[in-house]
Structure 1
Amino acid sequence: LPRARRIGDALLHALGHDRTFTDGRIRNAYRAGPVPEGAALLPGWWDARQKLWAEDAYQDGTATGNVAWAALALLNLDGSAQGAGYRAGARRMLGWITANAADAHAPEGFSGGCDGFDPGQTVLAWKSTEHNLDVHAVAAWLHRLEGRPEDARTAAIARRFLDAVYAPGPGVFRLGTTPEGQLQPTDHVALDTQLWPLIGVADAPAAWQRPVAYAEAHLAAAGGFDFNEDRDGLWVEGTAQAALTYRALSRTADAERLLGTIARQVSPSGLLFATDVPRLTTGIRIGPASTENDFFYFRRPHLGA
């Protein structure tokens, strides 16, 4: 608990000490190390050629799913350290999402957030299945705790988005929508989107187990799972997500098999490697300025894994 609280307290500090904004957002990344007084520090590097401090547009941005993910962490902490401000922090994060990412265009849901440098960031118009699932989980959790009608409405909007992006023909969840609002095709999917609905929605319908079978048929690789359907390597974090989903489905032997695969990916530092190959592709672009699919995982020790 003390180690977890250090992370939670750092998130609360970032929430209340942004260098530019006071609207309840957090950034996609922060500088590693002790948290100083004052504004939360963002990652960057000294560009010797241009003689300036450089930063990354994605890291400076705010993805809706990352805000919700941090809120879920705070709600977990609230269960063990009530009254420490973690629930209030999660509520403020959800407030940023509902104020800045709500999109009534069909299918109604929550858009991707914003990208780029302060103060004129680019609004991301696409909607992500993963993001909306995260939002549903946060709103449903807060509603269980406090019973506020607005949380129930937020959870319901995100849940309806999940229903809208489920493709019953192949039995698969789409990635989400395009920036123009069109449903993404089903020929390119991601592993986490197939798994998380079963553990993020309390009343997930039985039909939502079909994407697990789809993942087993189309995304399995190297004793576990790849991020996407090209099967170019093992995605360790996603394989752990699959193990958790198997356990939730009472498929204990399958979960243990995947955990055995994961156990073979421990780095000398004790952290897990992100992948078992030098570079794992995802078929996804990092930000709106990307001209090609440039979101990769590398065989490096990885906190997420």
Structure 2
Amino acid sequence: MAGIVMGLMGKGRRSALGMTLAGAMLTLLPGGAARAEGAGPAAELAARTCATLAARVDEIAGSGPVFLRSYDNAYAPGPTSEPALSIAAFTYDNALAVIALNGCGKRPQALRIGEALLDAVTLDRAGYKGRLRNTYRAGAQKQRPIPPMGWWDAVENRWLEDPYQIGTATGNVAWAGLALVTLGEATGEKRFRDGAAELARWVADKTADPRGPGGFNGGVQGFDNAPQLLTWKSTEHNTDLVALFGRLGKGWEAPAQAARGFLDAAWAAGNGHFPVGTTPDGVTISHATSGLDAQLWPLLLRDAPEAWRGALAYAERAHGVDGGFDFNDDRDGVWVEGTAQAALTYRALGRRADADRLFAGLLEDISPGGFLWATRPAVLTTGLAIGPDSKTDDFLYYRRPHLGATAWATLAALGLNPFTGARVP
């Protein structure tokens, strides 16, 4: 098998949807699902994105497990032209969709994705229990074990897979665990919590690294016959793990403390902000670039120290651009997903006017097919590399309708904190 590193590719042009739900009121639905309330941009954004996410699940025939396609083409709901992305269902995006759909009061749709995640946890094709791939094939999930993403290349006349897509990133595992915990709490079904615990065990067994700032490394990348351990550590990943271990509760105190210890060490080294993580040695804190999510996500954790709020002020200075926030500190354009994360963070910290300002812009980011664009410019740099074999900072975002950006916009508009499961003001 061969791999083609594609990144998150695409481009497009913005066009508004043909419907307006201005002034929509979203309230508590049966079962206690949180909905945005009152007139204004948040309520409209919640109504439109909830409807889009639910429709994407419903368009897949049947009632069984599904994964949603992560990227649309620029003009309407439907696959992109790039084979490596045309049916790619990124685990992170689908985990976000589970949490968002549950918050929308669309539990049947959330469960269909959750069932696919749970099935993928129980048995991997390589015999690894508790491991999730970074990417699966979108659509109904009828094959067992659920196969990871791959595609037939007509030019090369062979099956291709991408080393990132079939790898396992620690943060993606954590987000899938949070999605399963969310469903367990919503339904009372123990099997979802058990699935989340299985994922947490994989992380604790395979990625723990007590050296330097401690915490957990990046996971595994590459093909099954030659996996590469990702020895760097990520502030974002360790934040995800603080949330997952914390939600699992009793018995997970030690790994929760290890992940939190990493965040404390990173904060101490950042002089008022969070560095992105470590270099590949797993010990040295990296100051080579800055990541927006590394600044915002720790602020959403339960019991986040008040001093950490300085990271938001740093993000405003280092990542703020006209109308939103950039992924990194070169400030070359608006990263839509991160701008939605900032809107939720503003709400969590009581800055609703700032959140509403961002919501108004996010409404303009809705593509013709209903997903939000990943970026406002044609291409956005991150300062990061896709994988250990990359020779440049080749992890780029392109202007393409994106499931992950849409789900984050939903969470922000609903005021739903995915790390705690609670609503913010």
Shorter-chain-normalised TM-score: which range? Answer: over 0.9
Asked if residue 223 in structure 1 is aligned to residue 329 in structure 2, the reply is no
Corresponding residue for 2:338?
Answer: 238
- Identity score, percent: 52
**Does structure 2 conserve the Cα–Cα contact (< 8 Å) formed by 1:128 and 1:177?**
yes
- Partner-residue secondary structure (3-state), 2:329: coil
- Partner-residue secondary structure (3-state), 2:165: helix
Q: Which runs of 5+ in 1 are unaligned?
A: none
CA distance in 1, matches of 2:122, 2:375: 35
Corresponding residue for 1:19?
Answer: 125
Corresponding residue for 2:382?
Answer: 282
Per the TM alignment, residue 187 of structure 1 is displaced from its structure 2 partner at its CA by 5.0
- Partner-residue secondary structure (3-state), 1:123: strand
CA distance in 1, matches of 2:344, 2:216: 26
**Does structure 2 conserve the Cα–Cα contact (< 8 Å) formed by 1:126 and 1:177?**
yes
**Does structure 2 conserve the Cα–Cα contact (< 8 Å) formed by 1:167 and 1:174?**
no
Asked if residue 102 in structure 1 is aligned to residue 208 in structure 2, the reply is yes
CA distance in 1, matches of 2:286, 2:228: 25
Per the TM alignment, residue 85 of structure 1 is displaced from its structure 2 partner at its CA by 1.4
Corresponding residue for 1:193?
Answer: 294
Corresponding residue for 1:126?
Answer: 232
- Partner-residue secondary structure (3-state), 1:173: coil
Corresponding residue for 1:171?
Answer: 272
Per the TM alignment, residue 41 of structure 1 is displaced from its structure 2 partner at its CA by 2.1
Asked if residue 291 in structure 1 is aligned to residue 397 in structure 2, the reply is no
CA distance in 2, matches of 1:12, 1:119: 25
What is the TM-score of this pair, normalised by structure 1? 0.95
Per the TM alignment, residue 182 of structure 1 is displaced from its structure 2 partner at its CA by 3.6
What amino acid sits opposite 1:132 in the alignment? N
Corresponding residue for 2:219?
Answer: 113
RMSD, aligned α-carbons: 1.3
**Does structure 2 conserve the Cα–Cα contact (< 8 Å) formed by 1:20 and 1:119?**
no
Corresponding residue for 2:312?
Answer: 212
For this pair of structures, how many residues does the alignment match?
299
Q: Which runs of 5+ in 2 are unaligned?
A: 1-106, 406-425
**Does structure 2 conserve the Cα–Cα contact (< 8 Å) formed by 1:172 and 1:186?**
no
CA distance in 1, matches of 2:305, 2:362: 29
**Does structure 2 conserve the Cα–Cα contact (< 8 Å) formed by 1:31 and 1:43?**
yes
Per the TM alignment, residue 169 of structure 1 is displaced from its structure 2 partner at its CA by 6.1
Partner residue of 2:350 out of 250, 253, 259: 250
Asked if residue 32 in structure 1 is aligned to residue 138 in structure 2, the reply is yes
Single out whichever of 175-184 and 262-271 deviates more from structure 2. Answer: 175-184
What amino acid sits opposite 1:246 in the alignment? Y
CA distance in 2, matches of 1:234, 1:134: 23
Q: Which has the higher contact order (CA 8 A, sep 6+)?
A: 2
Per the TM alignment, residue 84 of structure 1 is displaced from its structure 2 partner at its CA by 5.5
- Per-residue CA deviations over 1:143-185 (Å, capped at 9, x if unaligned) read 1xxx22xx01111110010000114664110111111134334
CA distance in 2, matches of 1:126, 1:282: 17
What amino acid sits opposite 2:351 in the alignment? R
Per the TM alignment, residue 118 of structure 1 is displaced from its structure 2 partner at its CA by 1.0
CA distance in 2, matches of 1:29, 1:3: 20
Partner residue of 2:164 out of 33, 47, 58: 58
**Structure 1 residues 15 and 21: alpha-carbon distance in aligned structure 2, compared to 1, 3 A threshold:** same
**Does structure 1 conserve the Cα–Cα contact (< 8 Å) formed by 2:279 and 2:286?**
no
CA distance in 2, matches of 1:178, 1:185: 5
CA distance in 2, matches of 1:261, 1:187: 30
